[in-house]
Amino acid sequence: MDRRKRKTQKVITVVFYQLLKKKSYEEISVSQICQIADINRGTFYLHFIDKDDLLEKSIAHEMQELVDYCEKNGEMSNQQKLEKTFDYIRDHRRQLGRLLSADKQGFFAQFLIAHLMEQMMGQSQLTTIFFAHGLVGLLEHYLMNDVSEIEIAQAMERIFSSFR
């Protein structure tokens, strides 16, 4: 993709994130995004099908950032990989929480479950499915509620230790 397209997509995404800080997803319109980004609607639609597509691509981008963050340190145990995943989610809690609250289609959970299942090597498929879905539920609860990092970390440790 050429530089101008990347720049335009970035501007649209930045404006989208800014609006999510102030408004609910339902209150945001393509027209508002275009007005603030100083682009016309046609330009928006060259890059995104609609607002839902922008949301899905924003979540996919955040999940790719998570994957890149987790893969930076090379070989790690399953627990270390999960700890890195939680570190990233903790460090990006506000932004991920806003995306999650906007995500009525379940893109966030789909991407995160796929990531977690890739991270848990050496387990049976059923065990991996169980852990991935449970951890996504726990992380969604963490992002959407007033739960401390310590409380979630302790809960995750109890869960991990019960399956060792």
Domains and CATH numbers, the chain: 1-48 (1.10.10.60), 51-162 (no CATH)
Q: Look up residue 35 and give its two tokens.
A: 């007005």
Average pLDDT rounded to a whole number, residues 76-87: 77
87 burial level (CB within 10 Å; 0-12, 13-18, 19+): middle
Start-end of H helices in 23-106: 30-37, 41-47, 51-71, 78-91, 93-102
Query: pTM for this structure?
Result: 0.84
Handedness of CA 38, 19, 15, 61 (dihedral sign): negative
Number of other residues whose CB lies within 10 A of the CB of residue 85: 20
The model's confidence at residue 131, banded by pLDDT at 50, 70 and 90, is: confident
**150, pLDDT greater than 70:** yes
Contact 136, 109 (CB under 8 A): yes
Contact 48, 58 (CB under 8 A): no
Average pLDDT rounded to a whole number, residues 126-153: 87
The pLDDT of residue 75: 64
Average pLDDT rounded to a whole number, residues 13-24: 96
**Least confident interval from 10-14, 44-48, 158-162:** 158-162
In this structure, the chain runs to a length of: 164
